[in-house]
Amino acid sequence: MDLKHPLLFGQNLASAIATHVGRNFGCPRSQSVFEKCKRKNWTSELHAILREVGHQERTRVLPGRGNADGSQEETEFLYDHVWLDEAQRMVLAAEIELSRYEHRVMYDFRKLLYAKSSTLKLCIFSDHPDTKSAVSTMEAELHKHRQYVLGEHFFVIRLCNWQTEQLEAFHACSDGSPRTELTRVASLPWKHWP
């Protein structure tokens, strides 16, 4: 994956998540299956994928294990997941919300709007009938937000759309104006089913 090409990076990350999480947990087609998978297991798996990719990109990963500097931080640092470059600048801020409640997903997404020191913002959430309008609500938030930095990239990954049983990835890049819109960049089937 290549941080210098954010759109390609987002598509590749979405593919990695669809493959790894889909293989290990399947798609939560019903609330009972979702509860059996336990959100903590899903979150741990997502952190593991982000850690692996972050290390491939030669970043310091928080929370993380196996950083090049030997650090073993196990707690969140500002956001659920952060990557720092060699100069300790934040290059990725990520929020993972696997709640079935849209207000919790939106709370995490709004935090990313203010992550100005990071050019890449990633929001991962699980699809549920109660979160079906989350992407359009996020887009409305992007339109309302007025503090854009040129070149900010927002990635939204909806795990397992309830109707299509596919992972969907969306991208928005700021040109510095409030016209930022989320565009679907990937719709991927889960690679393996339980």
On whether the CB atoms of residues 116 and 105 are closer than 8 A, the answer is: no
Instruction: Output the pLDDT for position 147.
Output: 76
Query: Quick one: average pLDDT of 115-134?
Result: 84
Q: Diameter of the chain by CA atoms?
A: 45
Q: With a cut of 90, say whether residue 95 has pLDDT above it.
A: yes
Tell me how far apart the alpha carbons of residues 133 and 137 are, in angstroms, rounded to a whole number. 6
pLDDT band at 111 (very low <50, low <70, confident <90, very high): very high
DSSP state of 89: -
- In terms of Cβ atoms closer than 10 Å to its own Cβ (0-12, 13-18, 19+), residue 43 is middle
pLDDT band at 24 (very low <50, low <70, confident <90, very high): low
How confident is the model over 60-85, as pLDDT tens digits?
Answer: 888 865 555 555 555 667 899 999 98
27 in helix, strand or coil? Answer: coil
- What is the residue whose two structure tokens read 């600048």? 89
Tell me how far apart the alpha carbons of residues 160 and 16 are, in angstroms, rounded to a whole number. 14
Instruction: Output the pLDDT for position 74.
Output: 58
pLDDT band at 110 (very low <50, low <70, confident <90, very high): very high
Query: Can you give the three-state secondary structure of 142-169, one letter per residue?
Result: HHHCCCCCCCCEEEEEEECCCCCCEEEE
More confidently predicted of 135 and 128: 135
Give first-to-last CA distance, the chain, whole Å. 28
| H or E stretch at 36 | helix 31-37
Angle at 101 between CA 99 and CA 104, to 5 degrees: 75
Tell me how far apart the alpha carbons of residues 53 and 160 are, in angstroms, rounded to a whole number. 21
- DSSP helix, strand, coil percent of the chain (3-state; round to 5): 35, 25, 40
Cis link prior to 129 (omega < 30° from 0)? no
The pairing of strands 120-126 and 183-189 is unpaired
DSSP-assigned beta bridge partners for residue 173: 153
Instruction: Output the pLDDT for position 123.
Output: 93
Query: Quick one: average pLDDT of 184-188?
Result: 79
Q: Residue 137 is encoded by which pair of tokens?
A: 């609500």
